[in-house]
């Protein structure tokens, strides 16, 4: 990459102070609202139960109804509120004009309860998949002037849409991790053993459990591909003179290293979800105390005169992301509990909503009395912001599922969910190729929108084709 343009590009993404908590929340809220809009429109005008929609047509319509509103909201931000209100009004009024035999809301309660209690929950797939797609959209869009600077990653303190992306990906992974499904898996194993005993009339066989050392070794081997991706990205960035935002993770560090080390640390924490949740709280509180005792000064001001100092942001922030993951395990454990009625699920979603408000209050108090939010350090304020915003978004996803059932579930969500990390990697590769092929910061609004929409189309199409061919690409073990 041309040295002069590289410096201009790096200056373009630096010194951002972020936006407000509520603007970030509204941008994330457009995703579940779009899902509701898609389901209502499909139910009213495209009754796929009687006449199944061709997969290709369904894919295009989902891009228009779910993905495009988000792209518009992060480029033409003045339209965000109008989009949300417009889609909600549509969801209220369109059913009035639908055929009288078409039922849109509270349909098939038995099937809905079965879906809510299953191991593969459609609302969970949609939440995780669209958070990932939103993150992928932003990592390219931020390189264009059409993307407001306040949505880019903050330099030191503040909160922004792109700051939330990384923490949200970590939390969404924790919600469906093996540790989060600890009691759910245990119950399934117990039920299977009872069935075997009833069938054979004999006692259960001895179950082999790995020692903690063996588990650690297994995790090291399992995370090797993720570490390789981190090294490959680092080498490609350095060898091609690609623009870097050094204060993001450091000189050599990147998000793949963070994911890998979080997973390796988890191998030493093979505890129940309750213990993991408590441990997450202890880690972030202890880390915040260290930050206030001088660690923050080291991260922000110490010269990069050694390998450790060169990557101080990436290394130190592992504590924050580890805390998010551990707390996410506890939240995921409550998610996979079997509930006997839809009313129980409604109460659960409202409790999550109340918890998100509680985390917001704690975040607000943290901002005033403890420390400002910093993604760069992944401090207490950042962890609270991630939990509050994601639980709010997630609880709305559950409420929409309760309202509409699992009818017309998104095929894009199902596809992306299957190969999330690969789609994220592909997004990084396509972003790099785009930046090498054009000077993005000088692109017109029209060109920027064409490139962003085409890029999102390619990512979604690749995910769909992989799912259609029943291909799963895994880089790390859960």
pLDDT of residue 206 exceeding 50:
no
Residue scoring higher pLDDT (295 or 165): 295
pLDDT of residue 478 exceeding 60:
no
- The pLDDT of 87-97, averaged and rounded, is 85
Per residue in 3-15, pLDDT tens?
A: 788 788 878 888 8
Cβ(60)–Cβ(456) under 8 Å? no
What pLDDT, on a 0 to 100 scale, did the predictor assign at position 103?
A: 65
pLDDT of residue 208 exceeding 50:
no
What pLDDT, on a 0 to 100 scale, did the predictor assign at position 236?
A: 86
How far is the C-alpha of 403 from the C-alpha of 336, rounded, in Å?
A: 20
What would the two tokens of residue 221 be?
Answer: 């081997």
Residues 6+ apart with CB under 8 A from 136: 423, 424, 427, 456, 459
Cβ(455)–Cβ(434) under 8 Å? yes
What pLDDT, on a 0 to 100 scale, did the predictor assign at position 442?
A: 92
pLDDT of residue 34 exceeding 50:
yes
**pLDDT class of 204 with cuts at 50, 70, 90:** very low
Residue scoring higher pLDDT (112 or 152): 152
- The pLDDT of 362-377, averaged and rounded, is 96
**pLDDT class of 473 with cuts at 50, 70, 90:** confident
Per residue in 333-362, pLDDT tens?
A: 999 998 999 899 999 999 999 999 999 999
Question: In three state form, how does the secondary structure of 17-43 look?
Answer: CCECHHHHHHHHHHHHHHHHHHHHHHH
What pLDDT, on a 0 to 100 scale, did the predictor assign at position 191?
A: 63
Per residue in 125-170, pLDDT tens?
A: 999 999 999 999 999 999 999 999 999 999 999 999 999 988 999 9
pLDDT of residue 109 exceeding 80:
no
- The pLDDT of 393-397, averaged and rounded, is 93
- The pLDDT of 358-381, averaged and rounded, is 96
Round the average pLDDT of the chain to a whole number and report it.
Answer: 87
Domain extents in the chain: 23-182+211-468
pLDDT of residue 402 exceeding 60:
yes
């Amino acid at each position: 990459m041309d040295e002069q343009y590289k410096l201009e590009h790096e200056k373009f993404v630096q010194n951002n102070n972020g936006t407000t908590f509520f603007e970030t929340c509204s941008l994330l809220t457009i995703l579940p609202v779009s899902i509701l809009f898609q389901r209502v429109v499909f139910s009213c005008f495209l009754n796929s139960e009687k006449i199944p929609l061709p997969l290709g047509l369904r894919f295009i319509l989902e891009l228009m109804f779910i993905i495009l509103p988000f792209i518009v909201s992060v480029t033409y931000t003045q339209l965000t509120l109008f989009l949300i209100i417009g889609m909600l009004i549509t969801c209220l009024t369109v059913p009035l004009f639908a055929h009288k035999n078409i039922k849109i809301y509270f349909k098939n309660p038995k099937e809905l309860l079965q879906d809510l209690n299953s191991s593969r929950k459609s609302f969970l797939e949609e939440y995780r998949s669209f958070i990932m797609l939103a993150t992928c959209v932003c990592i390219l869009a931020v390189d264009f002037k059409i993307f407001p600077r306040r949505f880019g990653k903050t330099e030191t303190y503040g909160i922004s849409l792109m700051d939330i992306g990384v923490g949200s990906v970590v939390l969404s992974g924790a919600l469906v991790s093996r540790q989060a499904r600890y009691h759910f898996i245990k119950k399934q194993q117990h039920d299977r053993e009872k069935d075997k005993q009833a069938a054979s009339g004999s006692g259960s066989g001895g179950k082999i459990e790995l020692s903690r050392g063996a588990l650690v070794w297994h995790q090291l081997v399992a995370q090797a591909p993720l570490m390789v991706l981190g090294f490959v990205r680092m080498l490609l960035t350095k060898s091609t003179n690609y623009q870097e935002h050094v204060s993001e993770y450091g000189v050599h560090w990147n998000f793949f290293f963070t994911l890998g080390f979080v997973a390796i640390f988890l191998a030493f924490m093979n505890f129940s979800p309750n213990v993991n949740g408590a441990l997450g709280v202890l880690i972030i509180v202890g880390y915040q105390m260290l930050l206030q005792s001088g660690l923050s000064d080291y991260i922000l001001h110490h010269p990069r005169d050694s390998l450790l100092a060169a990557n101080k942001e990436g290394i130190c922030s592992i504590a924050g992301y580890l805390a998010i993951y551990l707390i996410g395990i506890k939240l995921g454990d409550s998610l996979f509990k079997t509930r006997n009625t839809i009313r129980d699920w409604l109460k659960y979603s409202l409790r999550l909503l109340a918890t998100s408000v509680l985390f917001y209050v704690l975040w607000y108090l943290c901002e005033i009395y403890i420390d400002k939010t910093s993604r760069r350090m992944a401090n207490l304020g950042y962890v609270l912001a991630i939990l509050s915003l994601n639980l709010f978004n997630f609880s709305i996803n559950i409420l929409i599922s309760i309202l509409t059932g699992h009818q017309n579930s998104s095929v894009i969500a199902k596809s992306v969910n299957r190969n999330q990390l690969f789609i994220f990697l592909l997004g990084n590769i396509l972003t790099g190729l785009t930046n090498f092929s054009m000077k993005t910061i000088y692109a017109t609004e029209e060109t920027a929108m064409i490139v962003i929409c085409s890029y999102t189309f390619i990512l979604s199409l690749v995910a769909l084709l992989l799912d259609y061919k029943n291909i799963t690409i895994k880089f790390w073990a859960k």
